[in-house]
Amino acid sequence: MTGPDTVGGTDGRSSRTASPSLSALLAALGTGAYVVDEQGRILAVNTHAEQLLARPAGDLLGHDAHDLLHRSRYGAPLPRTQCGMRQAYTTGRALQSEEEWFERGDGSLVPVSWLVTPFRTEDAGEPTLVLFHVPRDHDAAATEANRPHGPLPELERLALLAETTTQLTSTLDVEQALRRLVGLVVPQLADWAIVDLITEHDEVRRSAVVHAENGVLVHREDLEGPMPPVPPDSVMPLSRALRGVSSALAGPETYQGTPDSGLAVEQRRLFEKTGIHSAAIAPIRGVREVLGALTLGRAQRPEPLTAADLPLLEDITRRAGLALDNARLYQRQRKVAETMQRHLLPQLPRVPGLRMTARYLAAPDASQVGGDWYDAFTLPDGATALAIGDVVGHDLDAAAGMAQLRNMLRAYAWAQQDPPSRIVERLDQAVLHITDVTMATLLFARLAADDGRWRLLWTNAGHPPPLLVAPDGRARYLTDGHGILLGTGSHGPRPDATAELPPGATLLLYTDGLIEAPGRSLDEGLHRLRRHAASLTHRPLEAFTDLLLERARPSGNDDDVALLALRVPSGP
């Protein structure tokens, strides 16, 4: 183990030599001690603390002491609102407690008495000193046996249910909701948590088989996966729960007789592989149907689950059912909107000598689907029309508005052999009167070859500028031809702009989801896109497009992305 002369960086990874005052202070103490900053991150630790916590300094420094160490007497993470230490950190008061629990490096719990006091040093500012020791009458071998068993006290039960509601209702992603659910019940209520879900096709899938190992939740993937169908007449506990009949207790002996179904065979295998000696199973009910079942199992703890534990389990599954029902409904709506949008996006035309590809990437958030679109089609004079746009909004209305806008643009462009600016002017005049579109951005262009030279003529209605990348890596934005977005009611003339595309050049049209993200400036996003596009210009067009989406799209992006890329021939 390291000595008391180590201080961690605030990121939990870097380290530097401790200040002399902190080193001297901690080395002189004959009990476990560590120092935290105003945010509760561990700055320094002595060897006594390392030994008592069974954690080397490297596993402590820079980490939040509360998140890393503090646990309830049942082994669950302690809510910050119940943490007396954090109150001392923030108020600058001395505080002590005789009975708290820390989690050691091996995942076991140790009872501690502690004293927290602020102090000041010339070279370390105003950190907080935490002194702690294990009570003298503590028997390490009996820690687990002496922990409280049986149903949770009412206050802890209410706190767990409140946390369950908060955690599960704050996500609309089914997988994330399941991860949060098992994290709430393991290890606080059980050693194992098993979630069986009924799919929309009435198939059963064992979605999670999880237990705590050294303080980390570990999936038993060999026990997860598709399950046999639910037998209609079985009296076995899981079968009844998946039919929504009732919750029940179970053990290995429950499934020792002749199995009445394939589901019973899988249950026998579960008990054998996990060592669970006692289990409680409850249905997860949605508003209209049974969604699955939650099983809590105990293997390491000697005490069995009893009927007194079932009401709490049923309260948890009731909340889980509502959360999963909402998440499924939301994902179903997203799928409908995304499918509709993908079907509305066109097939690209085949243009001799011109390579063209497009991508549409849905937003990470299920609520964000809607108005980004692209289009390309051949005009009567042989030129190729290119369009990319974004209808304001992220919902089904935006997706429907996108379809209206695209169809009208096609009709105007085909019927009127005018410059792009005139086409978009007419489209803007019609938007407010015969569509449901409120506002939208649009870039519309004509691309044509004349004696082997490819020329682009375009107008831009408030959209991010096209990016032109030469084969040698020189990249520039085409910022001319810029006008106001559609739907504002201002119908003045719009400008056109022209540019010649050098042989082998790549032209990129995109929506703002490729360059914008919370906390980042637009200029930063444009610079990032140009750099990545320049570095990828030697790649084939398909690879260029895929890698650009992967590398240039900012982290934290919450918008969908449409992208249209084309490459002109490298020679006559």
Q: Is residue 307 part of a domain?
A: yes
Continuous segment of H or E residues that includes residue 69: helix 65-69
Residues 395 and 435 in one domain: yes
What CATH number did the domain enclosing 443 receive? 3.60.40.10
Q: Is residue 386 part of a domain?
A: yes
Query: How much is the mean pLDDT over the chain?
Result: 85
Residues 400 and 545 in one domain: yes
Residues 378 and 499 in one domain: yes
Q: Which residues of the chain have pLDDT under 50?
A: 1-17, 139-148, 366-368
Instruction: For residue 416, give its domain range.
Output: 345-567
CB neighbour class for 252 (10 Å; exposed up to 12, middle 13-18, buried from 19): middle
Tokens coding 80: 């910050």
- Work out whether strand 482-483 and strand 453-461 pair parallel, antiparallel, or are unpaired: parallel
**Among 299, 333, 367, where does a domain finish?**
333
Residues 227 and 94 in one domain: no
Instruction: Return the pLDDT at 122.
Output: 56
Of 43, 53, 69, 64, nearest in space to 1 by CA: 53
Instruction: Return the pLDDT at 287.
Output: 87
Residues 74 and 203 in one domain: no
Alpha-carbon distance of 24 to 18, in angstroms, equals: 10
Q: Is residue 572 part of a domain?
A: no
Alpha-carbon distance of 347 to 354, in angstroms, equals: 15
What CATH number did the domain enclosing 17 receive? 3.30.450.20
Instruction: Return the pLDDT at 434.
Output: 79
**Among 333, 356, 386, where does a domain finish?**
333
Helix axes 310-344, 174-185, angle to 10 degrees: 160
